[in-house]
Structure 1
Amino acid sequence: MLEGLSKIVGAIEKIASTIAAIFMFAIMIIVFSDVVMRYGFNHPFSWAYDLIALYLMAGVFFLVLSGAFTNHAHVSVDILQQKLPPTAIRITELVTALVGIAVFSLIAYLGYLRAIESFQAGDVMAGAIPWPMWPSIALVPFGAGLLTLRLALHFVLHLISLLTGRAVIALPASHATAEESFE
């Protein structure tokens, strides 16, 4: 059951990461086109900054939160973990997951409430184009909620590994090898 759930969350992470990559490509195209229009034709896009700042950058950030955690692509301070035995590393992973679940579930819940409120109120951004605010706000609970699910899976798998003595989930790889040294 956990393996199936992990595959489903992984598939959602892959789709979200693909959408984030498309958003990043769109940012590059829009910025390049805006520069050409500004300096080549003295007619920049009036909507470019709002679209990028309101939707695309938020999408790039929040859609990759969970995938980055899954792929260990986030910043990790593991200087203490490198000195700990495997059982203690699993315990630190459990504590990390619990703290993350508490923080990101709160962000997801409050973001969800804010997105619903924005949708019901018909909030729009003041400017040349009245961009609706709720799609951008909804990216927050989506990304934080997906990360919360991943952290919960991470917690359960590390707990099972700790209790059974079998490595159901691998320990995080150390970034330092025996050959590397600062001396």
Structure 2
Amino acid sequence: MRRTITLLEDLGLWLAVICVALIMFIVSYDAVSRYALHAPLPWAFELITYYLMIGAAYLGVSATFREGDHIAIDLFRNYMSPGIRAASDVIWSLLAAVIFGVIAYGAWEEMAGALERNEFLPGYITWPAWLSYLPIVAGFLLLAVRLVVFAVSMILYGRDRDVAEHSTKSELEEHHE
């Protein structure tokens, strides 16, 4: 299961990277064609706004957590004993899993409703609305699963070997000495 989660995270991260690259290429081509050729891409803004920005933002969230790259507020963490720190990691990860699971479920409900109602987003091209919810569902559902696996690993083993450990300030100072 851990391998499957990691594989899905890597896939999500690569899809997020592709979204960012496509945004860069589409915006660059649109700017050049708009000002040099007077032929802008009329669908560029909609594709970027409805799909690519959402994919870039949500598909990589679980891999970002796994790599330890999320913003961490560790004001009190530096002063906690290792046992208290581990217990707090379990508590916050389970709370976060519930929150992200609820968000994923809500996005799933919206996506299913948009698909059932055959909704389309306005613009030059009639884009299917349900598709813009898919990265939110996938990204936050995967993050919720990763957080639960993290909490279980912390309870059973005291650490999760797949998730980069959060180093405290004192640990970083010891490492550099």
* TM-score normalized by the length of structure 2: 0.91
Q: 1:23–1:56: 8 Å Cα contact kept in structure 2?
A: yes
In structure 1, distance between residues paired with 2:25 and 2:97: 36
Aligned pairs for 1:17-56 within 5 A: 17-56=13-52
1:87, distance to aligned residue in structure 2 (A): 0.2
User: Which blocks of at least 5 consecutive residues in structure 1 are unaligned?
Assistant: none
The question of 1:140 aligning with 2:136 is answered yes
Percent identical: 26
Q: Is the 8 A contact 2:150 2:160 kept in 1?
A: no
Residues 32 and 175 of structure 1: CA distance in aligned 2, closer, same or farther (over 3 Å): farther
Q: Which amino acid aligns with 2:156?
A: I
In structure 2, relative to structure 1, the CA distance for the partners of 1:168 and 1:104 (3 Å cut) is closer
Alignment of structure 1 residues 10-159 onto 2, 5 Å = 10-159=6-155
- Aligned pairs, how many? 171
Deviations 1:33-88 (A, max 9, x none): 00001110122111000000100010011100101111111111112111111101
Contact 1:90 1:171 in 2 (8 A): no
Cα distance in 2 for partners of 1:65, 1:19 equals 12
Is the aligned partner of 1:174 residue 2:161? no
C-alpha distance in 2 between matches for 1:126 and 1:168: 45
Distance 1:175 1:36 in 2: 47
Question: 8 Å contact 1:160–1:168 — kept in the other structure?
Answer: no
Partner of 1:29, secondary structure, is: helix
CA distance in 2, matches of 1:128, 1:11: 36
CA distance 1:136–1:168, change in 2 (3 Å): closer
Q: Tell me the secondary structure at the aligned position of residue 127 of structure 2.
A: coil
Amino acid at match of 2:74: D
SS across alignment from 1:93: helix
CA distances 1:115-164 after superposition (whole Å, capped 9, x unpaired):
111111111111111111111112111111000000000110111135xx
Contact 2:68 2:165 in 1 (8 A): no
Residue aligned with 2:106, SS: helix
Letter in 2 for 1:149: V
